[in-house]
């Protein structure tokens, strides 16, 4: 398979409008949860990215009919579901393979799940998934894979030991299939978790407390088919805000889902980047001050990620690149993953003034004039951050391992070229 790379010429202003894709982190659990019903489900605004393609391939191995009827429309008919061993090669490509645990337990009573893959951004424990499923009546055994079984899932009062997004999604899916009422406490409440809940309600589930940390789910209802549109990806919106900021461009982000952007906008405001709401569009004006806002008394400010509704961890890499172009000093605190910040050495090599204090904190002083370089894409978000860095650097940069970026961003080179970016996708010599 050829190795692909991006060639990015920096220093050019962008203009126009861009629309975010459907939320990757909503589409993945929704595709998995579509296995709960034996009637057809149609999903629209599904991002056509590598992670989704891989999950669809996994779903097909269980006997489910899944086909792309249009580029971003997926039809799933789980009339038949087999409790076959899941392909370890496919599972190793994506972390979302673990989301099949709950629906396969519900439909087949058992599942053998190889270890999931995903970005290497630190330890990503799976204990919370199995502790939650255990409280709902499942048993599990760990060999070279996770072997789960459940004669009948039953509702329970479940307290998650951490507000893990994917564990919350697995617990929600299992609770919808379980007999009786489940109260799910310390649940994650991100927009993609909410979207999963709304999808299941469309199929006939009863879920109260959507958008909060406590969900009450009346399980055991017969689910029917339906059609559901995946909501916009707020992480992509954050990426595009950063894109406009570092290129000093005026951009319109269409159908941005502004109701979910308050914490993202507040984070960028701390960097001196303001946005304007126009209906459901977000406008990022050009020529902004890009001046970091000090804390009261002139103290060095801090931008930190936390569980929703605080600033999202997946936007932290983008914010770090933006901070290199802002006037002032700021401490970035990545609380959730101990390896996510290890890409900053690539920015330092491009001329950024960054001190990596420890695996979770980086001190950034700006503005820095970045210069072109040859870099790698270590994970989805850091890869996109490197694209932003290259677009504001002097000269032409080479970005390798772009498959990581394309796991999460659909046709990103085409969409950026439509704004005037100089970016080309080429085969590596």
Place of tokens 């990545």: 334
Q: Pairing mode, if any, of strands 41-44 and 226-229?
A: parallel
Q: So where are the chain's domains?
A: 4-21+232-427, 24-229
Residue-wise pLDDT tens digits, 386-406: 999 999 999 999 999 999 899
Q: What's the distance, CA 271 to chain centroid?
A: 22
Which of 99, 95, 147 is closest to 123 using CA atoms?
Answer: 95
Provide the pLDDT for residue 103: 95
Provide the pLDDT for residue 120: 39
Asked if the domains 4-21+232-427 and 24-229 are classified in one and the same CATH topology, the answer is yes
Q: Pairing mode, if any, of strands 361-366 and 328-333?
A: antiparallel
CA angle 235, 349, 366 (to 5 degrees): 65
What is the C-alpha separation between 44 and 72, in angstroms, rounded? 6
**128 vs 233, which has greater pLDDT?**
233
- Rounded to an integer, the average pLDDT of 46-57 is 94
At how many degrees (to 10) do helices 165-177 and 101-108 cross? 20
Whether domain 24-229 has CATH 3.65.10.10: the reply is: yes
Please state which of the ranges 26-30, 140-144, 205-209 shows the lowest mean pLDDT.
140-144
What is the C-alpha separation between 212 and 184, in angstroms, rounded? 10
Q: Residue 366 burial (CB < 10 Å; 0-12/13-18/19+)?
A: buried
Average pLDDT value for the chain: 93
- Rounded to an integer, the average pLDDT of 287-303 is 93
Residue 23: CB atoms within 10 Å: 26
* Structure tokens given for 34: 């579509």
- Rounded to an integer, the average pLDDT of 116-140 is 73
What is the C-alpha separation between 313 and 329, in angstroms, rounded? 20
Q: What are phi and psi of 15, to 5 degrees?
A: -160, 155
Q: Coil, strand or helix: which one is 413?
A: helix
C-alpha to C-alpha distances, 341 to 60, 147, 233, 346, 378, nearest whole angstrom? 36, 34, 22, 10, 10
- pLDDT-derived band of residue 121, with 50, 70 and 90 as boundaries? very low
Provide the pLDDT for residue 97: 87
279 contact partners, CB below 8 Å, separation of at least 6: none
Up-side HSE of residue 410: CA atoms within 13 Å toward CB?
Answer: 19
C-alpha to C-alpha distances, 280 to 156, 170, 204, 241, 410, nearest whole angstrom? 39, 30, 28, 15, 21
Q: Which CATH number fits domain 4-21+232-427: 3.40.50.1820, 3.65.10.10, 3.90.1150.10, 1.10.10.10?
A: 3.65.10.10
Please state which of the ranges 137-151, 341-355, 359-373 shows the lowest mean pLDDT.
137-151
Provide the pLDDT for residue 113: 84
Which of 395, 402, 354, 338 is closest to 376 using CA atoms?
Answer: 402
Is the Cβ–Cβ distance between 247 and 391 less than 8 Å?
yes
Please state which of the ranges 43-47, 95-99, 240-244 shows the lowest mean pLDDT.
95-99
C-alpha to C-alpha distances, 245 to 57, 229, 239, 419, nearest whole angstrom? 38, 30, 10, 14
Q: Coil, strand or helix: which one is 406?
A: helix
* Structure tokens given for 351: 């001329």
Given a cut of 60, whether residue 426 has pLDDT beyond it is yes
CA angle 188, 136, 84 (to 5 degrees): 95
- Rounded to an integer, the average pLDDT of 70-97 is 88
Which of 272, 222, 228, 266 is closest to 246 using CA atoms?
Answer: 272
* Structure tokens given for 222: 């017969």
Is the Cβ–Cβ distance between 341 and 381 less than 8 Å?
no
pTM of the model: 0.93
Residue 406: CB atoms within 10 Å: 20
What is the C-alpha separation between 384 and 352, in angstroms, rounded? 17
Is the Cβ–Cβ distance between 426 and 4 less than 8 Å?
yes
* Structure tokens given for 198: 């709304």
Given a cut of 80, whether residue 142 has pLDDT beyond it is no
Given a cut of 90, whether residue 116 has pLDDT beyond it is no
Which residues belong to the active site?
A: 119
- Rounded to an integer, the average pLDDT of 268-279 is 97
For the chain, percent of residues with pLDDT exceeding 90 = 80
Which of 120, 170, 71, 175 is closest to 343 using CA atoms?
Answer: 120
- pLDDT-derived band of residue 125, with 50, 70 and 90 as boundaries? low
């Amino acid at each position: 398979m050829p190795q692909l790379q991006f060639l990015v010429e920096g220093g050019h202003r962008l203009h126009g409008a861009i629309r975010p894709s459907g939320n990757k982190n909503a589409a993945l659990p929704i595709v998995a949860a579509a296995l709960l019903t034996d009637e057809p489900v149609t999903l629209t605004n599904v991002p056509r990215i590598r992670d989704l393609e891989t999950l669809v391939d996994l779903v097909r191995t269980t006997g489910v009919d899944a086909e792309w009827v249009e580029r971003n429309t997926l039809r799933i008919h789980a009339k038949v579901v087999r409790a076959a061993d899941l392909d370890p090669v496919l599972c190793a490509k994506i972390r979302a393979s673990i989301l099949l645990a709950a629906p396969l337990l519900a439909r087949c009573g058992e599942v053998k799940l190889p270890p999931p893959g995903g970005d290497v951004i630190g330890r990503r424990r799976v204990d919370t998934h199995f502790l939650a499923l255990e409280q709902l009546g499942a048993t599990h055994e760990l060999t070279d894979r996770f072997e789960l079984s459940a004669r009948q899932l039953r509702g329970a009062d479940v307290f998650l030991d951490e507000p893990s997004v994917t564990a919350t999604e697995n617990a929600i899916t299992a609770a919808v299939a379980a007999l009786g009422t489940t109260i799910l406490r310390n649940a994650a409440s991100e927009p993609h978790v909410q979207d999963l809940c709304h999808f299941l309600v469309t199929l006939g589930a009863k879920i109260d407390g959507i958008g909060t940390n406590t969900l009450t789910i009346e399980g055991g209802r017969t689910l029917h088919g339906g059609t559901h549109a995946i909501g916009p990806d707020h992480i992509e919106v954050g990426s595009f805000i950063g894109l406009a900021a570092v290129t000093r461009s005026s951009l319109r982000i269409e159908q941005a889902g502004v109701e979910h952007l308050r914490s993202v906008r507040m984070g960028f405001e701390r960097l001196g980047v303001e946005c304007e709401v126009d209906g459901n569009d977000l406008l990022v004006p050009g020529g902004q001050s890009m001046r970091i806002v000090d804390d009261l008394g002139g103290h060095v400010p801090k931008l930190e990620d936390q569980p929703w509704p605080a600033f999202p961890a997946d936007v932290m890499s983008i914010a770090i690149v933006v901070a290199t172009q802002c006037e002032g000093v700021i401490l970035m605190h990545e609380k959730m993953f101990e390896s996510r910040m290890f890409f900053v050495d690539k920015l330092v090599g491009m001329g950024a003034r960054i001190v990596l204090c420890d695996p979770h904190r980086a001190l950034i002083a700006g503005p820095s004039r970045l210069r072109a370089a040859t870099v790698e894409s270590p994970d989805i978000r850091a890869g996109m951050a490197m694209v932003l860095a290259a677009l504001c650097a002097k000269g032409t940069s080479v970005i390798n391992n772009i498959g990581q970026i394309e796991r999460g961003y659909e046709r990103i080179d085409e969409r950026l070229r439509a704004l005037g970016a100089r970016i080309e996708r080429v085969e590596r010599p």
